Amino acid sequence: MSDPSPREPRPRCYRCFWPAALCWCDSLPVVETATRFVVLMHPKEFKREKAGTGRLTHLCLPNSEIQVGVAFDRHPVVQRLLTDPGHEVVLLYPGSTAVNLADPPTDGWPPSDRQLVVVVLDATWSCARKMLKLSPSLQRLPRGMFSPSAPSRFVIKQQPWAGCLSTLESVYEVIRALNQRGVEATPEPERLLAVFDRMQQLQIAFARDPDQGGYRRGEYSKPADRRGFRGHSARRRANFFRGPEGAANDRGAAG
């Protein structure tokens, strides 16, 4: 009897965190935006999903950054972003007062003399609620939402309900909505979806490969084949990213 020999650690790219042989860095599109995207990443997401869509989003968007944490009221970098008088900051999160980002700017929002900053929570739904609960300065932010152009394409991490999108998909939807609103003129935001599709194909290939330890056995079910949540849970979840009518009963995570 002998211990199994430890696995040789596979070389990894420390920018995209994928195995070096599959490094994304040279093939990612550069999606220029006037809007600054701030991805607030829950530490769990950072640890488990280092190579996840929050990171890929940041690598594709020069005008973006990732900040890791749970409670942000004492996070100096995030607080500087939130309190800068030259910034118009909006939190991508459902709520009865959330602005539909795709609406024509008849409401004068966003003010043209300020830098639009979109804050995105990169976490599971329950972790995102916790981040908000522990960060009153985020609770006070105006909220923005969109009506998704398609249900989540995410088959990798099972999404609890159709309106719940990955960070990469959400940022694509925001850019698409802001293009529609006329405050952003980003060419071909669909390039982000191409990255997303490629990531999924790679992960599905991994899942099918018996030599890949650490990846799940068995295939992912398609979103359409999954059972949805029911009752109260379904109602709460169904509000996420819907239009204002859908969110009318949502008191927000802090409520």
- Which residues make up the interface to Zn ion (CB under 5 A)? 13, 15-16, 23, 25
CB nearer to Zn ion: give 159 or 167: 167
Tokens encoding 68: 């890791």
Which DSSP state fits 18? S
**Cβ 11 to Zn ion shortest distance, Å:** 11
Query: Quick one: which of 127, 129, 123 has its CA closest to 239?
Result: 129
Among residues 25 and 77, whose Cβ is nearest to Zn ion?
A: 25
For residue 38, which of 72, 65, 77 has the smallest C-alpha distance? 65
Minimum Å gap between C-beta 249 and Zn ion is 43
DSSP 91-131: EE---TT-EETTS-GGG--S-TTSEEEEEEEES-HHHHHHH
The answer to whether 122 and 45 are in contact (CB under 8 A) is yes
- Burial of 83: CB neighbours in 10 Å, binned 0-12, 13-18, 19+: exposed
Smaller CB separation from Zn ion, 23 or 207: 23
The whole-angstrom separation of Cα 140 and Cα 143 is 9
Phi then psi dihedrals of residue 183, to 5 deg: -100, -5
Q: Minimum distance from CB of 12 to Zn ion (Å)? A: 8
Residue 202 Cβ vs Zn ion, minimum distance, rounded to whole Å: 13
Question: Nearer Cβ to Zn ion, position 60 or 162?
Answer: 60
Check: CB of residue 221 under 8 Å from CB of residue 155.
Answer: yes
CB of 19 to Zn ion, least distance (A): 9
Would you say 24 or 93 has its CB closer to Zn ion?
A: 24
Least Å distance between CB 59 and Zn ion? 8
- Residue, CB closest to Zn ion: 13
C-beta of 23 vs 71, nearer to Zn ion:
23
Q: CB of 49: closest distance to Zn ion in angstroms?
A: 15
**Length of the chain (residues):** 255
- Strand ranges for the chain from DSSP E: 36-41, 64-68, 87-92, 99-100, 115-122, 143-145
Residue (59 or 253) nearer to Zn ion, CB: 59
